[in-house]
Amino acid sequence: MLDTTPVGIDHALLHVVEGRLHLVNADKARDGTGETDATLLSVAIAAFEGALKLNRELGVAWLGHARTHRLLRNLDAAEESLTRARRLLPEDDSSAAAEAALLALDQGDITAAASLIDVADIHGDSPVITYVRGNIEARSGHLGLALEYYGKTLKADTNHIRARLNRCSIYMAMDEARKALDDAEILLDLAPNFTLARFRKAEAEMMLGEWARAREDLDIVLEKAPHHHQALTQLAACFIALDRPERAETPLNEALRINPDYAPAWHQRGLLYLEWGRNDNAMSDFEAAIKADPQHLDSRLHIAAMYHESEHFDAAGSAWRAVLQLDPDHIVAKARLDECEAKLVA
């Protein structure tokens, strides 16, 4: 409509609707890397700014502007736009309070997010509110409650893309791979070009040991998003599981070229080198994984085990203590640390 409108005839709300359509399109075409998101969401920003050029006092335009900036991780700009939106929108408009809760969650303030969604809930329950509550519970580590809220959201709105995607991720975290796969397949029925859903489907298939199918889905992901370093890393894991380790090094090298701070790729390549008997290379990669992510437990475990097996008990003891700092109840780390201390005393 906007493209065919004669010069001089325009309306701000048309631009708002266009921006919302771009947001829906972005939801159905994300790949999870952030790079694709930026491209998809830039057109939404332009649409909302087009509305604001015509009417600076249009609350829904500021709300859309805020949401798009939040999705782009421009949190300061999102907060500024949201402040304007809340000033202009009616007090009983729950959408602004829900957006404020999502922004607080992205800023790491779970308490504020919970308070804000309680305010939104005063004006009536909706799929948006239960979705936000699901996000709050997920961020708080209450996976069962998060599942309940996402279930309520999807019961009210079966096409809620983000709720289904988040529920899929919760199922993965709870080792419910079959249920995660079901949600991923529904997402692909709703949005066949949804690359992130395709990636989640591949991850669920890997959990189920369906390595060949996972590899096929990862190939589709990489065809659409060659920059997808997570997919490259998982593709390498598939090659190793399919007894084709010689094909795993190239995608791992590419993943690390794209994102040198991606700890899982360093760890995966370390495992590959360990399998090939290239222990020095493996140790170097495990150390690089820890440098990228000090919380990467598996890499710390492999470093400790390698020192232990080579009878460098002083270094092994330090490495096992580092494991126990992350997981104080790790049984193997406790036992191996006792062995190290006994050897050093002897």
Mean pLDDT across 8-30: 89
Lowest-confidence pick of 13-27, 122-136, 144-158, 219-233: 122-136
CB of 79 within 8 A of CB of 103?
Answer: yes
Which tens digit of pLDDT belongs to each residue from 230-280?
A: 999 999 999 999 999 999 999 999 999 999 999 999 999 999 999 999 999
The residue among 45, 64, 89 that closes a domain is 89
125 is a domain residue: no
Mean pLDDT across 327-333: 96
Q: Residues of the chain with pLDDT > 90: what percent?
A: 87
Name the nearest CA neighbour of 218 among 190, 183, 242. Answer: 242
Instruction: Say if residue 194 is exposed, middle or buried (CB neighbours under 10 Å; 0-12, 13-18, 19+).
Output: buried
Please tell me the distance from the alpha carbon of residue 9 to that of residue 286, in angstroms, as a whole number. Answer: 62
323 is a domain residue: yes
Chain mean pLDDT for the chain: 94
CB of 224 within 8 A of CB of 188?
Answer: no
Alpha-carbon dihedral sign for residues 165, 198, 260, 321: positive
Range(s) of the domain holding residue 329: 298-346
Instruction: Say if residue 232 is exposed, middle or buried (CB neighbours under 10 Å; 0-12, 13-18, 19+).
Output: buried
For 323-339, the DSSP string reads HHHH-TT-HHHHHHHHH
| pLDDT for position 137 | 97
Helix locations, the chain, DSSP H: 12-27, 35-54, 59-71, 75-88, 94-106, 110-121, 127-139, 143-156, 161-173, 177-190, 195-207, 211-224, 229-241, 249-258, 263-275, 279-292, 297-309, 313-326, 331-345
Name the nearest CA neighbour of 29 among 138, 167, 172, 192. Answer: 192
231 is a domain residue: no
333 is a domain residue: yes
Please tell me the distance from the alpha carbon of residue 311 to that of residue 188, in angstroms, as a whole number. Answer: 51
CB of 279 within 8 A of CB of 285?
Answer: no
Number of domains in the chain: 2
DSSP one-letter code for 28:
T
Please tell me the distance from the alpha carbon of residue 268 to that of residue 186, in angstroms, as a whole number. Answer: 30
CB of 229 within 8 A of CB of 269?
Answer: no
326 is a domain residue: yes
| pLDDT for position 4 | 72
| pLDDT for position 94 | 84
26 is a domain residue: yes
The residue among 43, 58, 89 that closes a domain is 89
Name the nearest CA neighbour of 131 among 154, 104, 115, 158. Answer: 154
Mean pLDDT across 167-177: 97
Which tens digit of pLDDT belongs to each residue from 183-235?
A: 999 999 999 999 999 999 999 999 999 999 999 999 999 999 999 999 999 99
What backbone torsions phi and psi does residue 60 show, to the nearest 5 degrees?
-65, -30
193 is a domain residue: no
CB of 335 within 8 A of CB of 308?
Answer: no
SS3 label, residue 6 = coil
pLDDT band at 121 (very low <50, low <70, confident <90, very high): confident
For residue 111, give both structure tokens: 């308490």
| pLDDT for position 161 | 95
| pLDDT for position 125 | 67
45: domain CATH number is 1.20.58
Whether residue 150 is predicted with pLDDT greater than 90 in this model: the reply is yes
Higher pLDDT among residues 44 and 93, named by residue: 44
The residue among 54, 70, 89 that closes a domain is 89
Residue with token string 């809220």: 149
Which tens digit of pLDDT belongs to each residue from 84-120?
A: 999 999 877 888 989 999 999 999 999 999 999 998 8
Whether residue 36 is predicted with pLDDT greater than 80 in this model: the reply is no
| pLDDT for position 123 | 67
97 is a domain residue: no
